Amino acid sequence: MALLTFAMNGLPRGQGRPRAVKRGGFVSVYKDEKDRKYEASVAKVAETAMAGRDPFEGPLSLSVRFRMPIPKSSNKRVKTSMAAGEIPPTTKPDTSNMVKSIEDAMNGVAFVDDAQIVRLFASKIYAEVPGVDVRVEAFDHQGGGA
């Protein structure tokens, strides 16, 4: 059964807009250096968690939880509420952009292509230790879930 879980500490990053440069009459599009480094670090953690297995094939379910840092400027009462999940983060980066970073980083590592993802769960919470928690599993056709 296809199953992969891993956690990675560090500030979650959303996928930025592609950059473009004109050279010799041609336009080249590229990813920002910070985006490339973040995706490379996610790919490395995913590769370690795959433990030598080939990328998963077939339909998959992806669950991602982004742990956002609690703002230092918040007062103690607000920080406590944030840590308890009573106040969700509504600031940037967007959840969808962060998911895209994770999906792109795992292409060819955890799965052949992110087009295989047929079910997605994503959440953004405040946490003392920022990071991301990822779960990839085979999609169960029979029960509609994994």
Strand partners, 7: 133
Question: 144 falls in which pLDDT band (50, 70, 90)?
Answer: low
Determine which of 18-22, 31-35, 61-65, 142-146 has the lowest per-residue pLDDT on average. Answer: 142-146
Encoding tokens for residue 76? 């103690």
Task: Report pLDDT digits (tens) over 79-95.
Answer: 999 999 999 999 999 99
| Number of residues in the chain | 146
Taking the domains of the chain in order of start, what are their residue ranges?
3-138
What is the structure's pLDDT at 92?
93
What is the rounded (10 degree) CA torsion for 93, 97, 99, 100? -150
Query: Could you tell me if 134 and 102 are in contact, meaning their C-beta atoms sit under 8 angstroms apart?
Result: yes
Q: Which fold has domain 3-138?
A: 60s Ribosomal Protein L30; Chain: A; (3.30.1330)
